[in-house]
Amino acid sequence: MTCDSIPLRYVSQLYPPVSFYGFQDDDDLTFLPMDRVKNGYFLSNSDKYSKYVSSYNAFEEGDILLAKVTPCFENGNIVIAENLVNGKGFGSSELFVVRPTTIDRKFLFYYFQSSTFKQEGEASMTGAGGLKRVSPDLLRQHHVPLSSETVQQAIANYLDRETAHIDALIAEKERMLALLEEKRAALISQAVTRGLDPDVPLKPSGLDWLGDIPVHWEIRRLKYLAQVRGGLTLGKKNTGSNLVTMPYLRVANVQDGYLKLEDVATVEVSESNAKGYLLKYGDVLMNEGGDIDKLGRGCVWREEIAPCLHQNHVFSVHPYAVSSEWLAVWTSTFQAKYYFESKAKRATNLASISGTNIKELPVLMPPENEQKEILMFIDDAIKKIDLLQIELKTTVSLLTERRTALITAAVTGQIPPEEMAA
């Protein structure tokens, strides 16, 4: 099967006009922030017309919405706008809006997911780090294979069937991953709040959110166990001859029980100012703000980068009367997370917790030898869960690669028509 090639701009419109004639300020329509645009579907959300008319990209029923910013573009965040509230919508400015004109909509939707298109998109990106974006010129100049409408529809129907099977397998593996994550969290919470002896006598903790605890355990406030330090406030102008450029940790770097250090930012700061924010080996990093589920989550700093600072949205907790490992694992329990959320100050989509509330965190304290036994038990159990998760993630990665390869082969004419017949 052979396909002609034609510039994408000849068969579609980029940021096409959308008429809101007759709309009133309080009329409802669909609003799609980037985090609601997934691979092939979106999470429905609606709001008032007046809130978005001046700052967001407009679209209407049938338009294709394609992420242009990294890593959303690479992850395949793309959707066809369907079942919109009042037929219209606004979306993130980080979305391309493409309206097919003389090309099959579903065919173009799949073509945007092919490695042929994605490789050119990634090559066209400009910017640095997490702010790299696909150039709009790509969509204006890129050539798309163009066969007859009948062939396009046959390819789209074939991919509907085949990708549905692959997507179902991926969804099953992702459900298993989620269950393992739940098992990990439950196992940690049970061991850290009740210990390893199921027959141990219990006593009331005095805290509704904690419940009963082993009779020989204590509860102490964090401020009596560790030094809590805020981080470096960014944006202040530094002057002088002793300025240095240093890496610093952000909320995105501090995950629940581990560090994510692939993208570490740097800041120019005076040597004297930097000294007060240097991380020390054994510090427990705890997040001050961000999404509600990120509050307080922490992990142990082991000088993975040295020297290194931390910004003001990441607390550095240096223990002197509790082990770093015990404190870090305590912050990952359901109970500690409940405390963080109950003390949080909330704004739209964001939350934060003060240093004062961090210092007042109740910490459950078994005897030291029992802490070590519990930590060893958790470490062994988590290693087994990690192995299962690695296997599942490998399977998901292979299925995703297979999906992309299948789409690429179909939209570029490498699969004979007879193989695509229902």
The domain boundary residue, chosen from 327, 345, 365: 365
- Reported as type and span, the H/E element at residue 364 is strand 362-365
Stretch among 207-221, 271-285, 368-382 having the lowest mean pLDDT? 271-285
Judge if 251 and 341 occupy the same domain: yes
Does residue 36 contact residue 45 with C-beta atoms inside 8 Å? yes
Per the rule left: phi > 0, alpha: psi between -120 and 50, beta: everything else, 22 is: left
Q: 323: closest CA among 288, 364, 275?
A: 364
Q: Give the dihedral sign, CA 108/111/112/117.
A: negative
Judge if 350 and 227 occupy the same domain: yes
Q: pLDDT > 70: what percent of the chain?
A: 95
Q: 59: closest CA among 31, 21, 27, 26?
A: 31
- What is the predicted pLDDT for the residue at 1? 44
Judge if 374 and 288 occupy the same domain: no
Q: Give the dihedral sign, CA 69/73/75/77.
A: positive
Per-position DSSP letters for 118-173, written without gaps between them: HHHHHHH-BSSGGG-B--HHHHHH-EEEE--HHHHHHHHHHHHHHHHHHHHHHHHH
- What is the predicted pLDDT for the residue at 361? 95
Residue 202 lies in a domain: no
CATH number at residue 286: 3.90.220.20
- What is the predicted pLDDT for the residue at 187? 96
3-state SS assignment for residue 221: strand
Using CA atoms in the order 221, 227, 233, 236, what is the torsion angle rounded to 10 degrees?
140
- What is the predicted pLDDT for the residue at 238? 58
Res. 234 pLDDT band, cuts 50 70 90: confident
Judge if 223 and 343 occupy the same domain: yes
What CA–CA distance (Å, rounded) separates 95 from 58? 10
What CA–CA distance (Å, rounded) separates 362 from 31? 41
Average pLDDT on 251-267 reads: 85
The mean predicted confidence, pLDDT, of the chain is 89
* Residue 312 pLDDT exceeds 90: no
Residue 331 lies in a domain: yes
Q: Which two tokens stand for residue 159?
A: 């991919």
Res. 129 pLDDT band, cuts 50 70 90: low
Res. 32 pLDDT band, cuts 50 70 90: confident
DSSP state of 236: P
Residue 37 lies in a domain: yes
Query: Which residue type, as a one-letter code, is found at position 324?
Result: S
Chain Cα centroid distance, residue 154: 35
Residue 422 lies in a domain: no
The domain total for the chain is 3
- What is the predicted pLDDT for the residue at 368? 95
pLDDT tens column, 57-114: 899 999 999 999 988 888 889 999 998 888 888 888 899 999 999 999 999 999 999 9
Judge if 59 and 156 occupy the same domain: no
* Residue 2 pLDDT exceeds 60: no
Judge if 292 and 403 occupy the same domain: no
- Max distance between CA atoms of the chain, in angstroms, equals 78
Query: Which residue type, as a one-letter code, is found at position 276?
Result: G
- What is the predicted pLDDT for the residue at 223? 96
Residue 335 lies in a domain: yes
Judge if 23 and 120 occupy the same domain: yes
The domain boundary residue, chosen from 82, 106, 132: 132
Q: How many helices (H) and strands (E) does the chain have?
A: 10, 24
Beta bridge partners of 95: 67
CATH number at residue 377: 1.10.287
Judge if 361 and 384 occupy the same domain: no
* Residue 345 pLDDT exceeds 90: no
- What is the predicted pLDDT for the residue at 29? 87
Judge if 337 and 230 occupy the same domain: yes
Question: Which residue range is the domain that position 160 belongs to?
Answer: 147-196+369-415
What CA–CA distance (Å, rounded) separates 313 from 353? 9
Provide the whole-model pTM. 0.80
The domain boundary residue, chosen from 97, 132, 167: 132
Which carries the bigger pLDDT value, residue 235 or residue 306? 306
* Residue 247 pLDDT exceeds 80: yes
Does residue 358 contact residue 318 with C-beta atoms inside 8 Å? no
Does residue 70 contact residue 130 with C-beta atoms inside 8 Å? yes
- What is the predicted pLDDT for the residue at 319? 95
- What is the predicted pLDDT for the residue at 240? 57
Judge if 79 and 125 occupy the same domain: yes
List, in order, residues 6 or more apart from 65 with CB less than 8 Å away: 32, 37, 42, 59, 78, 79, 80, 81, 91, 95, 96, 97, 98
What CA–CA distance (Å, rounded) separates 73 from 66? 7
Stretch among 19-28, 238-247, 323-332 having the lowest mean pLDDT? 238-247
pLDDT tens column, 37-67: 887 777 777 778 877 777 788 999 999 999 9
Q: Which two tokens stand for residue 257?
A: 């029980």
Judge if 152 and 270 occupy the same domain: no
Residue 254 lies in a domain: yes
* Residue 348 pLDDT exceeds 50: yes
Judge if 36 and 116 occupy the same domain: yes
* Residue 5 pLDDT exceeds 70: yes
